[in-house]
Structure 1
């Protein structure tokens, strides 16, 4: 029995540098699933945003919104229900970035577009939230050597990590497994991946915590 026998549609979430996309890909390699991956490199405004956030925040945010909606729409609903699916983005979390980066007028415009574009998608059977300390996020972002990511201030990562934590500690739309991702890198260590899979199979309630350093 695999985790997808229990959870048909799984979302992996976490701030930049948490390893959500890597984990999603690894699970996609291990199991026959539909894989929905966010393509940040396709956003032409993103490098400019990290250099001049006030100027490019709205265009960056709107591109991501349109991209995510199109990815969801492109997945045939029959495939969503008949096959297992894993995604590294969560449309309901999209406004989190908008609230952080847009001014009041821009946010009002964004909300109008979000409401207009929001598509009906199945609620995830499980959300795995990779809760990662700011220092670890900063280190991993630097290790990736993506040129525009080197412009990301540590202070921004801190605000982003706080926003994620607040969102997922309050979110109750689907079961959530909050994973302490500080020292045990579940995206690189095979033993860590096995521990995570075992922990997922043990889930019994709608909100649980996995602290590998303590177990």
Structure 2
């Protein structure tokens, strides 16, 4: 089974991925932030490095997906190839960080990959406001994230909402502003109750 966690920068998706992996015994695939050779340059000059950044993540997520699709274990992934394309790359195009020629080339590459890509059997979306994202980004203190602009986060949030609104697969939406699942066991239990209900047929509401 393939389960994915979606969410903006600072939404807590990596924390939730690790917690759910431990709770259920699922194999985790974390986003390769530290391994990205473009990330420092990207946040210093987004328009110069946007295509390089997005192609690296597209390549890495596609590689992970091929491994996931051949795995016999239940897998949980921190950020999907789909939000990389429909949220991050789309936001860079909208903000003018990728020109139309580069964007079309990128999308043609993605569309070729889609011929062998399978959708997650469950998508968990962490919905968070920009102030909440900023608080979490500041708390973790990554040097390369200090230059992230508010309008960049706002654009990503809009793209996320547009994407989720039209998402066709099985979906759970978590209110990231009001659930401190990383610190509060009761809030984490609310999240696992939703997952149990969706995967195993136990009764619960569709969102918290």
TM-score normalised per structure 2: 0.88
The correspondence of residues 47-86 of structure 1 with structure 2, limited to 5 A, is 47-75=40-68, 77=70, 79=71, 82-86=72-76
**Count of residue pairs brought into register by the alignment:** 197
Q: Is this contact kept in 2: 1:179–1:209, CA < 8 A?
A: no
Choose which of 23, 27, 34 in structure 2 pairs with 1:41. 34
Choose which of 90, 93, 102 in structure 1 pairs with 2:80. 90
For 2:197, the equivalent position in structure 1 comes to 202
Q: State the distance in 2 between where 1:170 and 1:103 align.
A: 25
After superposition, the C-alpha distances for 1:98-144 in whole angstroms (9 at most, x for unaligned) are 12112211101111221233462433221110000000001100111
> Helix, strand or coil: the match of 2:125?
strand
Q: State the distance in 1 between where 2:25 and 2:182 align.
A: 19
Deviation at 1:85, TM superposition (A): 1.2
The correspondence of residues 49-198 of structure 1 with structure 2, limited to 5 A, is 49-75=42-68, 77=70, 79=71, 82-96=72-86, 97-101=88-92, 102-118=98-114, 120-172=116-168, 174-198=169-193
Given the superposition, is the C-alpha separation of residues 60 and 38 from structure 1 closer, same or farther in structure 2, using an over 3 Å criterion? same
Q: Is this contact kept in 1: 2:61–2:81, CA < 8 A?
A: yes
Q: State the distance in 2 between where 1:122 and 1:74 align.
A: 12
After superposition, the C-alpha distances for 1:25-66 in whole angstroms (9 at most, x for unaligned) are 111112222211111111111121111111110111111111
Structure 2 portions without partners, runs of 5+: 93-97
> Helix, strand or coil: the match of 2:111?
helix
Deviation at 1:76, TM superposition (A): 6.0
Q: State the distance in 2 between where 1:20 and 1:13 align.
A: 7
Q: State the distance in 1 between where 2:111 and 2:121 align.
A: 23
Deviation at 1:200, TM superposition (A): 2.5
Deviation at 1:22, TM superposition (A): 0.9
Q: State the distance in 2 between where 1:141 and 1:209 align.
A: 28
Is residue 7 of structure 2 the alignment partner of residue 14 of structure 1?
A: yes
Given the superposition, is the C-alpha separation of residues 41 and 119 from structure 1 closer, same or farther in structure 2, using an over 3 Å criterion? farther
Which deviates more from structure 2 when the two are superposed, residues 92-101 or residues 51-60? Answer: 92-101
Structure 1 portions without partners, runs of 5+: 1-7
Deviation at 1:196, TM superposition (A): 1.1
Q: Is this contact kept in 1: 2:194–2:206, CA < 8 A?
A: no
Q: Is this contact kept in 2: 1:69–1:118, CA < 8 A?
A: no
